[in-house]
Amino acid sequence: MIIFNNGKYKSILAAEAGELATIAKCVNTDQDFRPHYHIAPPTGLMNDPNGLIFDGEKYHLFYQWFPFDAIHGMKHWKHLITHNFQQFQSADDLIPCELFESHGCYSGGALKVGDKLAMFYTGNTRRATDNQRVPYQNLAIFDLDGKLLSKRPLIENAPAGYTEHVRDPKPYFADNGKIRFVCGAQRENLTGTAIVFEMDNLEDRPRLLGELALPAFDNRDVFMWECPDLLKLGEQDVFIWSPQGKARESLQFQNNYHAVYALGKLDGLDFHAETIQELDQGFDFYAPQTFAGLSNQQQAILYGWIGLPDLTYPTDKYKWHSALCLPRELRLQGKHIYQRPIPAIYQSLSNSTSYQVHGQTEIANLDRAYLSFEVQNQPFELRFFTNAEGEHLTLSYQDGVLSLDRTHSEQTELMRKFDSQRHCEVKNLHKVEIFFDRSIMEIFCNDGEKAMTSRFFIANRAMCLHSSRPLTLAVAYPQGITYTGQ
């Protein structure tokens, strides 16, 4: 075991007595923005969900975590276990303490093999002589109770033809029964792709099979694919990934980086896509991953990071950064994936009330409420949370486009760099659902046809909304999540 402690590359094993408790006190001074029913880090920065696996009885969830500050420092895997997505129990974390992960445990996925959970992840290392990144693909073994048993490197360095940016292994069982994992990669010509490895069993040495071909995707300007995920949904194959560098457009791909799915058929390493779409068109959604271990006959379950690389948020001063979206059920409808929170989230709703709104309406605890309303494909404008400084959040629909505007709210310079409006084309909008959680807004259109996930920051906000036209709102309140062992 090595205890790393070099600037931002600091392992939690190097924490001084009382250091994390002091940071937690700073986190707890945030009275405006900490979520009530979304997973957020106890301290520091979280990003990608990792190692999502259903072990037959319970769900294991990891996420990227730097405990000491709201910066991208030494990455750990924070480990939670749940039976119901309401109560979460801490288990053994994946903590960098070996040379093959000397600068952090980067993202990856999980597979149940026998009575063990196999976590595939990228070990971030840097060569001492020139600080050059050297990626490792590693394997950690946990038991079903969440105890870490062992870890070892599988692959050192990127394969020939690729840069040091090879990472985020997501494993799955191939039709031949062998274990495969897909990694995001960058070719030496600085274009993004994904590459697939195979191994006979967990003791085997992985072999590179080649690139995943996805000719239907316009890869122009894309310099990296991150967080790849191959799965089946019913009879269809699905590829989910996060391409970096794609040109921004007016009604899609509006962020600096994106989360995308392809739906079709996988033939060997050739993916024949019938549909390619963004998963979410809000300001803040990236690096989604689905749970392994489910049948996926009718639906899959996904978590995504409510955040983006290279962004700062107003909560950084409280020494916490980002959250995970609500667990989402993915299901097929025609040639598209629909997504909504899993049934357990709806079952947790309480204190349901109906409001007739037109003009200004006060709604108790609006900033942690669920709202649902019908719009009959007619224009509307809703303005939320206006405070004494005139800050507010606006959601509107006009000419087949749903628009979210956070111009008049607190934003960091980096948030404003990528504009303050997001637009989502919904040609026939009938139903809108909104989950507010303090500084988080998840919007679902037409029972999951489109989704928009965003952060917003309005301090001292009024629990009110203003509607441009009469609407009937169903309002209820999701149950707050609880943690033990943190």
Provide the 3-class DSSP secondary structure of residue 334: coil
Q: pTM score > 0.95 for this model?
A: yes
Give the residue-averaged pLDDT of 460-482.
98
Percentage with pLDDT > 70 across the chain = 100
C-beta separation of 274 from 215 below 8 A:
no
Q: Which residues pair with 401 in a beta bridge?
A: 398, 425
* 453 closest CA partner among 341, 361, 363, 345: 341
Give the residue-averaged pLDDT of 138-163.
98
Q: What is the DSSP letter of 13?
A: G
Alpha-carbon distances of 364 from 35, 355, 370, 381, 465, rounded to whole Å: 17, 11, 12, 20, 11
CA angle 411, 311, 417 (to 5 degrees): 60
Look up 48 and say whether it is catalytic. yes
Alpha-carbon distances of 35 from 182, 228, 317, rounded to whole Å: 33, 28, 16
pLDDT band at 485 (very low <50, low <70, confident <90, very high): confident
Half-sphere exposure of 4 (CA within 13 A, CB side): 25
For residue 179, the model assigns a pLDDT of 98
Give the residue-averaged pLDDT of 53-82.
98
Q: Which residues pair with 63 in a beta bridge?
A: 49, 78
* Least confident stretch, 126-130, 180-184, 212-216, 451-455: 126-130
Using DSSP bridges, classify how beta strands 482-484 and 87-90 pair: parallel, antiparallel or unpaired.
parallel
Residue 71 phi/psi, 5-degree rounding, is: -135, 160
Instruction: Read off the tokens for 66.
Output: 């730097």
pLDDT digits (tens, 9 = 90+) for 280-336: 999 999 999 999 999 998 899 999 999 999 899 999 999 999 999 999 999 999 999
DSSP-derived secondary structure for 416-451:
HHT-SEEEEE-SS--EEEEEEETTEEEEEETTTTEE
For residue 128, the model assigns a pLDDT of 84
For residue 279, the model assigns a pLDDT of 98
Instruction: Read off the tokens for 19.
Output: 């250091």
The strand order across the sheet containing 207-211 reads 162-173, 179-187, 192-199, 207-211
pLDDT digits (tens, 9 = 90+) for 229-264: 999 999 999 999 999 999 999 999 999 999 999 999
* 373 closest CA partner among 391, 360, 362, 358: 358
The chain-wide mean pLDDT, for the chain, equals 97
- Tell me: pLDDT of 92 over 80: yes
- Tell me: pLDDT of 127 over 90: no
Amino acid at 160: A
Alpha-carbon distances of 378 from 398, 427, 433, rounded to whole Å: 8, 11, 16
In the chain the domains, ranked by start, together with CATH numbers, are 7-341 (2.115.10.20), 346-484 (2.60.120.560)
Instruction: Read off the tokens for 376.
Output: 């009959």
For residue 190, the model assigns a pLDDT of 98
For residue 300, the model assigns a pLDDT of 98
Annotated catalytic residue within 48, 229, 237, 367: 48
193 CB-near residues (< 8 Å, 6+ apart)? 185, 186, 187, 211, 212, 219, 225
For residue 337, the model assigns a pLDDT of 98
Other beta carbons within 10 Å of 23: 21
- Tell me: pLDDT of 486 over 80: no
DSSP-derived secondary structure for 247-315:
PP-SSSS-SSB--EEEEEEEETTEEEEEEEEES--SSS-EEEEEPBSS--SSEEEEEEEES-TT---GG
Amino acid at 13: L
For residue 309, the model assigns a pLDDT of 95
For residue 278, the model assigns a pLDDT of 97
Residue where the block lists tokens 């600037």: 7
- Tell me: pLDDT of 375 over 80: yes
For residue 37, the model assigns a pLDDT of 98
For residue 110, the model assigns a pLDDT of 98
223/28 Cα distance (integer angstroms) = 39
- Tell me: pLDDT of 483 over 80: yes
